[in-house]
Amino acid sequence: MSVRQRIIDAVRARLATIRLANGYATDIGANVLEWQTTPIPVDSLPAVCLRDTETEIEAWTMRERDNRVALVIEAIGQDIPPALARSYLEDIYRAIGADETWGGLALLTEPAGDSIELNTEDERVGRATVRITVEYQVGKWEF
């Protein structure tokens, strides 16, 4: 299994810990999805969706590379007020900060920004999105 896949699995597992029972402000970890491309049923909200969108590669040595994979983590809820959207962001950042090396798989994790998109007239779903970059080392032709 590639290092990238193991990092994605670790991020997904960490997001699943975002539960009230674990001391977080929300329960978005109850439903963790990866690359969700269809609307999420209302009875499955709140949920959090993870996407690995692109990778930048930098030569470290002739045989090793530093890869920086961009991840988008989107928490989704129905009819959420702004304060709850901010709680989604806070919970995601707190979960990421628990171990930014993902059990030693990565060199570091950096925040790249966040955004909030609240309910519109035609869609009663709000989103809180966190973007991060995870840097890790692999061999020249490894993933």
> CA 6 from chain center: how many Å?
14
Find the mean pLDDT for residues 125-141: 94
Q: Where are the domains of the chain?
A: 3-139
Predicted model pTM: 0.93
pLDDT at 103: 97
Pull the structure tokens for residue 68: 């920086």
Residue 32's contacts (CB-CB under 8 Å, 6 or more residues apart) are 12, 15, 16, 47, 48, 49, 50
Kindly report, residue by residue over 103-127, the tens digit of the pLDDT. Answer: 999 999 999 999 999 977 667 889 9
Q: What is the pLDDT of residues 89-104, one digit of tens each?
A: 999 999 999 999 999 9
pLDDT score for 122: 66
If pLDDT is split at 50, 70 and 90, which confidence band does 138 have? Answer: very high
What pLDDT, on a 0 to 100 scale, did the predictor assign at position 59?
A: 84
Distance CA 6, CA 89 (A): 24
What is the architecture of the domain spanning 3-139?
2-Layer Sandwich (3.30)
The predicted-structure confidence for 24-77, as pLDDT tens digits, reads as follows 999 999 999 999 999 899 899 999 999 999 999 998 788 889 999 999 999 999
